[in-house]
């Protein structure tokens, strides 16, 4: 894309994001990029007499310089990344993204001396600095550094790791280019018309009323990835190699402990998720049998899982979707709803799918401190779109609350908490929809959607988490991770999760290629947090929506405090203060009870229609 004066003067699309909130033009971005290349001020603030500052005042000045640099890089990244996301074929945007990545690597290289230099001051000195009022803003950072000293290397080793940043990001970047810009997606016949099954079209066709169309879509879509199985295997294998490299270089016992430990989450939380999910698979299988009955199928296939249990005939154009999401957020309080409305009205979001655009949805917080967050959607005027809208704006509002309440140093909340905010909005959306439903058909539609959300956000993400843990462990033990091997492992986990051996759900061989479609496997132990978060947010939503008014308001205030806390403490203590304990399988057992209760209600409606008495 080439920027022209005519484009600058065109009327803005109200459903595209205003990236000019970041920089008024590409030339302004490029000027800011050039200005950020000067690391002199940063180094002068942080490298005093050949070492790091040894006074609270000097260290505070250094931290302020680092924060200013990080904010500038965040703004540059937001511009480049979001331009690439809106058009993966935009060569100029791809070059911007590469330039920002290289700048980030150079700055990390320049500052690689800093943490080793701080640790060289000694434990007693660091403890004293932690308690100095001048450094209160960075107290958590100092504590984390001191507690993780065994994982911080010498200055030269840190410099080498900093220089590897572009290399470790390469598999994910190549995945995006291959998947969204270059993959030759198949074309199939749907209702007499040719449909090219790119990721956006696939998400629509997989909901088709005809099981034969759904199966054809799944086989064709995953068959395309099968043709590139070796390439995707090499990309995932390289990403895992980089994860293992860094964990070993930093003296962690394994890559899982390293990834979770860097976010100050114990590995036991991951283990509790896998155990809690496995022991509740009977609830998933109960839902799948109900789905088979309601859809009138002789055999339930993996390709049948996205078709709605009850056909929703209502369309949700974006204006209606926004209104519903705002109404559903009412339990969060009027100030929250007002701030969310302001963002929705101010072009923070790129709404609709188009050719070349990145699939899925995300919220980008990189520039939130100085500008605002940005939200990417691929809105399709259906209930899934409304649910995704609520989810992503849960992230956006988390960012707004955190950046308003916290200094920059603690405004970036830990990933473990990020999905709590987003899935909480989904729980509130379901509660609102059920309260507004006027018929049993409407209730069945929303209850069915809730079951699907729990399947995909809990069981599916936990399945991904198990796969991710297993392939990292396999690589750490010396096993090769070819595309064929990844497919074999993934297919086995899917069939076990969905009860194929017990006749619950048929999973064909082609479904084993689903792993190749998942970008999160490049993110180094990210997906598990969807499942842990939906369990935590379910408990928070229940406290906000049930009981006396005073207790509901107290629960809301605890949630708002959590969302405004940023990274001012570790994630598990912050959740505990909000009323959730993630150290056992109890949250997953509670989530299974919630899922069973929804199934009970659906079965009750079905029994009523048949004139039967539901037990």
The predicted model gives 223-228 an average pLDDT of 94
pLDDT at 6: 34
Rounded Cα–Cα distance for residues 544 and 559 (Å): 9
Is 433 a residue whose pLDDT tops 60? yes
- Per-residue pLDDT of 518-540, as tens digits, reads 999 999 998 999 899 999 999 89
% of the chain with per-residue pLDDT over 70: 97
Length of the chain, please? 615
pLDDT at 531: 93
- Per-residue pLDDT of 179-208, as tens digits, reads 888 899 999 999 999 999 998 899 899 999
The Cα-based distances of 6 to 1, 12, 17 in angstroms read 13, 12, 18
pLDDT at 3: 33
The Cα-based distances of 276 to 158, 283, 591 in angstroms read 38, 12, 10
Q: Record the tokens describing residue 330, joined without a space.
A: 């009412």
The predicted model gives 556-563 an average pLDDT of 98
pLDDT at 340: 98
146 sits in which H/E element: helix 139-147
Q: Is residue 73 part of a domain?
A: yes
For the chain, the domain total comes to 1
Q: Is residue 67 part of a domain?
A: yes
- Of 274, 288, 218, 243, which Cα lies nearest the Cα of 513? 218
Concatenate the DSSP letters of all residues of 63-108 into one string.
HHHHHHHHHHHHHHHHHHHHHHHH-TT-HHHHHHHHHHHHHHHHHH
**Could you say which DSSP state residue 118 is in?**
H
- Of 327, 394, 384, 386, which Cα lies nearest the Cα of 560? 394
- Per-residue pLDDT of 482-517, as tens digits, reads 999 999 999 999 999 999 999 999 999 999 999 999
Hunting for tokens 């806390």 — which residue is that?
565
Q: Record the tokens describing residue 47, joined without a space.
A: 């490298």
Concatenate the DSSP letters of all residues of 534-566 into one string.
HHHHHHHHHHHHSS-HHHHHHHHHHHHHHHH-T
The predicted model gives 34-49 an average pLDDT of 92
Contact between 122 and 110 (Cβ < 8 Å): no
pLDDT at 154: 83
Confidence of residue 48 (pLDDT cuts 50, 70, 90): confident
Strand pairing category for 374-376 and 349-350? parallel
Rounded Cα–Cα distance for residues 265 and 467 (Å): 19
Rounded Cα–Cα distance for residues 552 and 211 (Å): 44
The predicted model gives 217-224 an average pLDDT of 94
Burial class (CB in 10 A: 0-12, 13-18, 19+), 282: exposed
The predicted model gives 474-487 an average pLDDT of 94
Q: Is residue 96 part of a domain?
A: yes
Which of helix, strand or coil describes residue 48? strand
463: Cα separation from own chain's centroid: 16
Contact between 229 and 484 (Cβ < 8 Å): yes
Is 158 a residue whose pLDDT tops 90? no
- Per-residue pLDDT of 259-300, as tens digits, reads 998 888 999 899 999 999 999 999 999 999 999 999 999 999
Q: Is residue 113 part of a domain?
A: yes
Q: Is residue 104 part of a domain?
A: yes
Q: Is residue 433 part of a domain?
A: no
Contact between 88 and 357 (Cβ < 8 Å): yes
- Which domain does 109 fall in, by range? 22-163
Rounded Cα–Cα distance for residues 230 and 446 (Å): 40
% of the chain with per-residue pLDDT over 90: 77
Q: pLDDT averaged over the chain?
A: 92
- Per-residue pLDDT of 113-147, as tens digits, reads 999 999 999 999 999 999 999 999 999 999 999 98
- Per-residue pLDDT of 300-334, as tens digits, reads 999 999 998 887 668 999 999 999 999 999 999 99
pLDDT at 313: 67
The predicted model gives 378-386 an average pLDDT of 92
Contact between 314 and 386 (Cβ < 8 Å): no
pLDDT at 72: 96
What number of CA atoms fall less than 13 Å from residue 206's CA on the CB side?
19
Q: Is residue 118 part of a domain?
A: yes
Is 473 a residue whose pLDDT tops 70? yes
pLDDT at 155: 82
The predicted model gives 42-55 an average pLDDT of 90
pLDDT at 2: 30
pLDDT at 166: 78
218 sits in which H/E element: helix 211-226
Residues 424-437, buried b or exposed e (16+ Cβ, 10 A)? Answer: bbbbbbbbbbeeee
Q: Is residue 195 part of a domain?
A: no
Hunting for tokens 């209930």 — which residue is that?
383
Hunting for tokens 């709803």 — which residue is that?
337
468: Cα separation from own chain's centroid: 15
Please measure the distance between the N-terminal and C-terminal CA atoms of the chain and give it in whole angstroms: 62
Contact between 566 and 499 (Cβ < 8 Å): no
Please, what sign has the CA dihedral across residues 79, 81, 85, 87? positive
Confidence of residue 583 (pLDDT cuts 50, 70, 90): confident
- Of 167, 161, 150, 159, which Cα lies nearest the Cα of 246? 161
Q: Record the tokens describing residue 581, joined without a space.
A: 């304990």
Task: Return the CATH number at 119.
Answer: 1.20.140.70
Contact between 80 and 87 (Cβ < 8 Å): no
pLDDT at 312: 67
Q: Where are the beta strands (DSSP E) in 155-212?
A: 187-190, 193-196
The predicted model gives 52-70 an average pLDDT of 95
Is 5 a residue whose pLDDT tops 60? no
Rounded Cα–Cα distance for residues 525 and 259 (Å): 6
Which of helix, strand or coil describes residue 376? strand
Confidence of residue 100 (pLDDT cuts 50, 70, 90): very high
Rounded Cα–Cα distance for residues 470 and 254 (Å): 12
């Amino acid at each position: 894309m080439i920027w022209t004066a005519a484009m600058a003067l065109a009327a803005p699309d109200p459903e595209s994001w205003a990236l000019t909130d970041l920089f008024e033009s590409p030339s302004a971005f490029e000027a800011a990029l050039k200005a950020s290349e000067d690391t002199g001020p940063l180094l002068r603030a942080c490298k005093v007499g050949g070492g790091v500052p040894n006074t609270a005042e000097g260290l505070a000045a250094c931290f302020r310089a680092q924060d200013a640099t990080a904010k500038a890089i965040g703004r540059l990244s937001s511009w480049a990344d979001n331009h690439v996301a809106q058009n993966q074929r935009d060569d100029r945007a791809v070059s911007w993204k590469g330039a920002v990545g290289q700048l980030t690597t150079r700055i990390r290289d320049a500052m690689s001396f800093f943490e080793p230099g701080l640790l060289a001051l000694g434990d007693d000195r660091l403890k004293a600095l932690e308690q100095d009022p001048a450094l209160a803003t960075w107290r958590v950072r100092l504590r984390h550094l001191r507690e993780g000293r065994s994982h911080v290397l010498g200055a030269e080793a840190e410099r080498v790791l900093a220089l590897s940043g572009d290399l470790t990001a390469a598999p994910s970047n190549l995945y995006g280019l291959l998947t969204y810009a270059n993959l030759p997606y198949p074309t199939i016949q749907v209702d007499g018309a040719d449909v090219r099954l790119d990721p956006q079209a696939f998400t629509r066709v997989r909901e088709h009323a005809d099981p034969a169309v759904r199966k054809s879509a799944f086989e064709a879509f995953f068959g395309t990835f099968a043709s590139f199985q070796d390439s995707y295997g090499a990309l995932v294998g390289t990403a895992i190699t980089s994860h293992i490299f860094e964990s070993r270089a930093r003296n962690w016992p394994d890559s899982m402990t390293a990834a979770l430990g860097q976010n100050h989450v114990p590995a036991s939380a991951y283990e509790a998720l896998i155990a809690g999910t496995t022991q509740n698979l009977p609830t998933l299988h109960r839902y799948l049998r109900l789905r088979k009955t309601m859809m009138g199928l002789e055999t339930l296939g993996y390709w049948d899982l996205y078709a709605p249990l009850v056909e929703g005939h209502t369309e949700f154009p974006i204006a209606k979707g926004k209104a519903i999401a705002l109404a559903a957020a009412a339990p969060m309080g009027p100030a929250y709803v007002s701030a969310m409305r302001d963002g929705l009205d101010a072009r923070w979001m790129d709404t609709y799918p188009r050719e070349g655009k990145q699939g899925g949805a995300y919220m980008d917080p990189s520039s939130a401190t100085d500008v605002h967050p940005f939200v990417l959607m691929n809105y399709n005027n259906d209930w899934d779109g409304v649910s995704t809208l609520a989810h992503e704006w849960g992230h956006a509002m988390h960012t707004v609350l955190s950046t308003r309440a916290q200094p920059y140093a603690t405004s970036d909340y830990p990933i473990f908490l990020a999905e709590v905010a987003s899935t909480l909005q989904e729980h509130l959306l379901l509660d609102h929809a059920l309260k507004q439903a006027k018929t049993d058909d409407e209730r069945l539609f929303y209850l069915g959607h809730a079951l699907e959300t729990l399947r995909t956000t809990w069981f599916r993400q936990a399945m991904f988490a198990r796969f991710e843990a297993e392939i990292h462990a396999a690589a750490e033990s010396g096993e090769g991770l070819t595309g064929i091997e990844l497919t074999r492992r993934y297919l086995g986990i899917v069939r076990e999760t969905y009860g194929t051996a017990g006749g619950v759900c048929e999973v064909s061989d082609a479904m084993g290629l689903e792993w190749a479609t998942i970008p999160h496997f490049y993110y180094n132990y990210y997906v598990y947090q969807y499942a842990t978060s939906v369990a935590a947010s379910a408990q928070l939503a229940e406290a906000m929506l049930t009981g006396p008014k005073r207790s509901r308001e107290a629960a809301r205030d605890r949630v708002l405090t959590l969302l405004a806390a940023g990274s001012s403490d570790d994630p598990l203590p912050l959740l505990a203060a909000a009323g959730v304990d993630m150290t056992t399988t109890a949250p997953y057992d509670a989530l299974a009870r919630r899922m069973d209760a929804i199934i009970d209600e659906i079965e009750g409606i079905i029994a009523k229609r048949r004139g039967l008495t539901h037990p």
